[in-house]
Amino acid sequence: MTVRHGIGFARNPCASLLRLYAEAGTVASVGTRRRPFVHLFGPGANAFVFANSGLFRWREAFDLLVPVNGETALIVSDGADHRRRRRLVQPAFHHRRVAGYVARIAANTDAALEAWAPGRTLDAYAELRAVIRRSTVEVLFGDRLAADSEVIGGRLQVALAAIDRNFVLQMMLRSFPNPYMRRVAASRAQVARRVDEEAERRLAEGGEHDDVLAMLLAARDEDGTGLTRQELQDQVISLISAGYDTTSAAMAWAVHALLAHPDAAERARREVAEVVGDRPVQAADLPALTYLDGVVNETLRLFPPAVLSARVPVEDFTYAGHRIPAGAMVFYSPFVTHRMPEVWPQAGRFRPERWDPSCELYRPATPSTFLPFGGGPHRCIGSTLATVEIKTMLACLLRRTRLRLVSTAATPTSVTAMRPRGGLPVRVL
């Protein structure tokens, strides 16, 4: 099973994981005895992992993300370091602050859509990814860094491409000095220098700024200690990369799903027309767009950006009668959970109405059955921003454009930010 799964996973991770669950059930061990890879599938497994966070290390499991995010980023932090850094960053993502970002997100989206002339064929994934990158940098870190968002994105893409490679190849590239990894490090270092420049400029200028960078610069622990220079760099860079890489992947699938299901698209379009009308989308509109909520949630159910997540146990443990050794790589999969028919009726179908309690397909979502942003103490800190951004941008698209898929076929690629392979070609009508 190990060799077959490895080959299948390299070719099509999503299909391979579903096949592994069908064949092995809720616990599947692959890899070698020296370094087993253990997959725990289903809501029970998810609940176990989230409830026993002290049993696992995070840093070792996410080591491959360090070239992008840095040594001190939240996503690779453990224990007290993670709790401290999360406490300092968390206020920037409170839902009231996120609501204040809507106007800028809508304005950036509308500005980009101005160039979407009828008859034009374009890659909606690439176009919307650029909008999300600019909006993310702008609302979190200010206009000056946003003005450099394309350059920042270009540099970060070198590092993002590195962690998007085959797992075995990544391990090989990280194991010895080589020109590729030096280029990755140099590209990230350029972004870090730009972050330093902006931070130093803010400190020299004084004054008040109402964004995440200002909050990070001002954040203090009880003893008056703030973030170190490296911590500041790593938090900013990881929030930029995670903020646009995963969100743009989910946005692409939302657009694809709507275009592949014209009835759903038309229902969403009517709702936006009734609520928003001809004016720009506003934060106050979002609560009334209930069907569009279903579109976003259904997209995240079928196409969660992180196909699977990992932990490394610090001691042996037993789950469902299986002994799992310390040091193993333990995986749980939002993708597999979201596709289980015993959890979600008609699990493989795009049915936004299932999120309406009056629908016969409705099932209450729990942290263990619906986990597009992970769960437990390490749940994605930007989950609210991501869902608000996707919903706002979809409302802008539905209000201003009509599109047609160039091809209805779309193959998922990447397990860290699952997106359509080859982008999302569409024709503007």
Is the distance from CB of 138 to CB of 108 less than 8 angstroms? yes
> Which residues pair with residue 35 across a beta bridge?
none
The answer to whether the Cα torsion of 394, 398, 399, 400 is positive or negative is positive
* Rounded Cα gap, residues 291 and 258, in angstroms: 12
* Rounded Cα gap, residues 396 and 20, in angstroms: 40
Residue 395 half-sphere exposure, CB side, CA atoms within 13 Å? 36
In 3D, which of 6, 17, 31, 24 has the Cα closest to residue 337?
17
- The amino acid sitting at 61 is A
- Within 8 A by CB and 6+ apart from 66, the residues are 73, 76
Any binding-site annotation on 14?
no
Binding-site residues for heme sit at: 380
Binding-site residues sit at: 380
